[in-house]
Structure 1
Amino acid sequence: MQVLVRDNNVDQALRVLKKKMQREGVFREMKARRAYEKPSERRNREDAEAVRRARKAARKQAIRDGLIAAPKKKPMPARAPRPGQSAPAPSMSDK
């Protein structure tokens, strides 16, 4: 796993690294390996995960097919321009 450090901004690079590790499941794996997991508990956990995945896939398919409504998206707040950049040009809908 590789993260670029830009302008000696280590805090930003750490945030990016943590997000990548979260997406990859590294933290979940570390937590699972802290203590021994009995084979029966492992089977139960894996079965529950499979059920969750199947339900999620079925829900996404139902949304795609139009059987259920998609969840409402939260509006994103407008971001300030980065230092050294000009403000974004107004779009056609702003006029």
Structure 2
Amino acid sequence: MQVLVRDNNVDQALRALKKKLQREGVFREMKLRDHYEKPSEKRAREKAEAVRRARKLARKKMQREGLLPMKPRPVAAGR
């Protein structure tokens, strides 16, 4: 993974790196590997994650079809 530092602005590059790592799921993976997880707990966690993903996809599909109201988009001040 690579992040460019422009104009010696390390803080901005660090923010970009953290955002990339977050998107890739590195922090989540580190947290999971911090302690041993029993196989039964792992199966239960993965099943719960799959259920959450399926519900989210179904909710988005219903919103696209007009069966559920869309979430209002936040209006950014100053743009």
TM-score per shorter chain, which class?
over 0.9
Partner of 1:57: 57
Normalization by structure 1: what TM-score? Answer: 0.81
Higher relative contact order (Cα pairs below 8 Å, separated by 6+ residues):
2
**Where in structure 2 are there 5+ consecutive unaligned residues?**
none
The alpha-carbon deviation at position 73 of structure 1 amounts to 1.0
CA RMSD of aligned residues (A): 0.7
The alpha-carbon deviation at position 3 of structure 1 amounts to 0.6
Partner of 1:39: 39
CA–CA separation in structure 2 for the residues paired with 1:4 and 1:64:
38
The alpha-carbon deviation at position 7 of structure 1 amounts to 0.4
CA–CA separation in structure 1 for the residues paired with 2:26 and 2:66:
35
Normalization by structure 2: what TM-score? Answer: 0.97
Which SS does the other structure have where 1:37 is aligned? coil
The alpha-carbon deviation at position 78 of structure 1 amounts to 1.3
Do structure 1's residue 20 and structure 2's residue 20 form an aligned pair?
yes
Partner of 2:67: 67
Give the share of equivalent positions with the same residue, in percent: 70
The structure that has the greater radius of gyration is 1
Q: Which portions of structure 1, spanning 4 or more consecutive aligned residues, are displaced by more than 6 angstroms? A: none
Which SS does the other structure have where 2:70 is aligned? coil
Which of the pair is proportionally richer in helix?
2
**Where in structure 1 are there 5+ consecutive unaligned residues?**
80-95
State the one-letter code of the partner of 1:48. Answer: A
CA–CA separation in structure 1 for the residues paired with 2:2 and 2:63:
35
State the one-letter code of the partner of 1:35. Answer: H
Partner of 1:2: 2
State the one-letter code of the partner of 2:62. Answer: A
